[in-house]
Chain A
Amino acid sequence: MSEGTKEPDGGEEKVVLKTHDGQEFTVDMATANQSGTLKNLLSEVGSSSNNPQVIPLPSSITSRVLGKVVEYCQRHAAGGGRRGGMQALEQFDEELVELDKDMLLDVTYAAAFLDVPRLLDLTSQAVADAIKNMSVEEVRHYFGVVSDFTEEEEKVIRSECPWAFE
């Protein structure tokens, strides 16, 4: 984790994240570096304040979703040394993933795509908590998962992991 990295003074280096729906998010390098994907990319191409790199994002990451990711990265780039320390940061994390189910899945996808490990951990924990006490049918209904198994596969799957269902 690159938490605690110092913020560039006066925001010298900036990078622009552009969503498919046309919105632009200008962030500083400390924020961008929270994402492994952006960090790798920027280490190769570089960016400056006069001529910031514009990075286009895939259509699956909408501006609403990116807004959440940026919010997370900005807060974590600042680390626990600000606004009430680690406790406040943990509370921020908790509240950040209080999302409706579609948004939760989208942010999960974005966190994986942009390689923000701790955010992915938070959202996937929230998804896991949601499906934990549901039957297979309930999960399918709640999250709109359609079975793509053939009838034969269904039969095989039912007999899989007998040790888990004894």
Chain B
Amino acid sequence: MGARVSSLMGRETGLGDLPENCVAAVLVHLNPLEICRAARLCRTFRGAASADLVWETKLPRNYRYLLALVSDEKAVEQRSRLCKKEIYARLCRPNPFDGGTKEFWLEKSCGGLCMSIPSRALLITGIDDHRYWNYIPTEESRYHSVAYLQQTWWSEVDGEINFCFPAGAYSLFFRLHLGIT
């Protein structure tokens, strides 16, 4: 029957004795990883840690749009059967989109949207001039190929993305690697 903690009043209520709706109210204030950990406490916590009303608060506002982009999902019907927690887990995986040329995923501890665009999906001026540029295969990249720059005194890289990002502040990084290891 869960926990027993005696108080001065002779009444006995422990954290595990709280009803599931109280536990869900607590879990809403935790991040997704902490919720998954709390599910290991006892049955009430496990139940609440799967509740849609808890995970709804963790999903990006436009999760339906993101889910629709997930290309390995065959049937829409199948998608609609996923509970909110499963949707969160699904969106945390690297999800290829735009014909597999790019990937997006959620940062699993906070639900923030991340995206990666490979060099092949960017416009690199002079990429076909092999005096300067080459594509070389590598296992270090998730796309198994990188644009290798032999020599240059200037370069120009352009990119465009059409995507509904949830509102927020984002950082943009270019991933560069000096030399071949």
Binding site for B on A (CB under 8 A): 21, 59-60, 62, 64, 102-103, 105-106, 108-109, 112, 120-121, 124-125, 127-129, 131-132, 135-136, 139-140, 143-149, 157-158, 160-161, 163-165
Contact = CB atoms under 8 A, between A and B. Distances in A.
A148 B43 contact: yes
A48 to B, nearest CB: 32
B2 A129 contact: no
Contacts, number: 122
B25 interface: yes
Contact of B16 (A102, A146, A160): A146
Interface in B10-65: 11, 13-16, 18-19, 21-22, 25-30, 32-34, 36-43, 45-46
Q: Which of A109, A129, A145, A163 has the most CB of B within 10 A?
A: A145
Lowest 10 A-B CB distances belong to which pairs?
Answer: A128-B29, A143-B15, A164-B36, A124-B25, A144-B5, A145-B16, A161-B36, A124-B26, A144-B3, A102-B7
Given A129-B29, A163-B89, A105 B39 contact: no
Interface in B96-120: 108
B9 A62 contact: yes
A165 B36 contact: yes
Contacts of B14: 105, 143-146
B108 A164 contact: yes
B93 interface: yes
B1 to A, nearest CB: 7
Given A143-B3, A149-B43, A163-B93, A109 B13 contact: yes
B25 A62 contact: no
Given A147-B42, A157-B46, A163-B89, A108 B33 contact: no
A165 to B, nearest CB: 7
B34 to A, nearest CB: 6
